[in-house]
Amino acid sequence: MQQGKPRDHRHLGRIAAGGAAFILAALVYVVTEAVSAAAWQNPPYFYAYNYISDLGVARSLTIDGREVLSPLAAVMNFGFQAHGLLFALGCLLVLPLLDGKMKRFACAAALVHGIGNGMVGYFPGESYSGVSPHVVGAGMAILGGNLALIGAGLSIGRRVGAREDGAVLRLSDRLVRFVPRLSGIGIGLGSFGIAALAIMVTRVLGYPAVFERLSVYTMTAWDLLFGCCLLAVWFASSRSKSA
């Protein structure tokens, strides 16, 4: 019993830090997007018309017919890069909750997302012709992030049935008890995000900026939900140990 306590405490610390990283990732992204969009005056910024990447372009340009000039481009580019870093960090911190091959898959996809978002912030979306670093980075960020959601969902589902580590098992059980369908939510959000990306690229339904946002906001929703679940598990577990 004495050997299990330090391990359990380490897991609790990682869970708390991971939950905080996910919530901070969502807040940083939402706030930087809202602030940089509100700064647009001429031309005005429309969420249903302008791409998210338009917020990171500091020069006055016409891109695919859209007049683009973002006064606070640096704010949005910081948001891109900060989210990529915090999302990847959160996934790496909650490794004890994941299992087997899906654990490695989810973390690899999260790292792809982090690198992609770093590229999106470093190379503004000033052109979408050819294979630009921004387009490559955006593809990595959206695909990697949504695949990480699917991998995390599958891993959470698998971990509930595992019997390798009693301390981790109890924490994972509590995580699923807070949101019983958490595994399905992760898989569903990731799948929806990838479908939205495909619709945006093909423009089969029009409104590409809307579907671009839908493909990104799946990650923001997961950040908030998963982060809150992790902190709830940490709080409940800490209270039970101190009781």
> Over the chain (243 residues), what is each successive 10-residue block's mean pLDDT?
52 89 97 96 90 93 87 96 97 77 89 97 83 92 97 75 49 66 92 97 93 97 94 78 57
What are the residue ranges spanned by the domains of the chain? 8-242
pLDDT value at residue 182: 86
Q: Is the CB of residue 199 less than 8 Å from the CB of residue 211?
A: yes
pLDDT value at residue 2: 44
Does the reported pTM lie above 0.85? Answer: yes
Kind plus residue range of the DSSP H or E element containing 189: helix 182-202
Q: Which residues contact 169 (CB under 8 A, 6 or more apart)?
A: 159, 160, 162, 163
Neighbours of 96 (CB within 10 A): 21
Q: Which residues contact 75 (CB under 8 A, 6 or more apart)?
A: 32, 35, 36, 39
pLDDT value at residue 232: 87
pLDDT value at residue 235: 82
* Cα atoms found within 13 Å of the Cα of residue 14, Cβ hemisphere only: 17
pLDDT value at residue 162: 47
Neighbours of 198 (CB within 10 A): 12
How many angstroms separate the CA atoms of 162 and 96, rounded? Answer: 12
Three-state SS annotation for 203-231? CCCCCHHHHHHHHHHHHHHHHHHHHHHHH
pLDDT value at residue 97: 72
| Nearest of 146, 144, 138, 139 to residue 120 by alpha carbon | 138
Amino acid type, 1: M
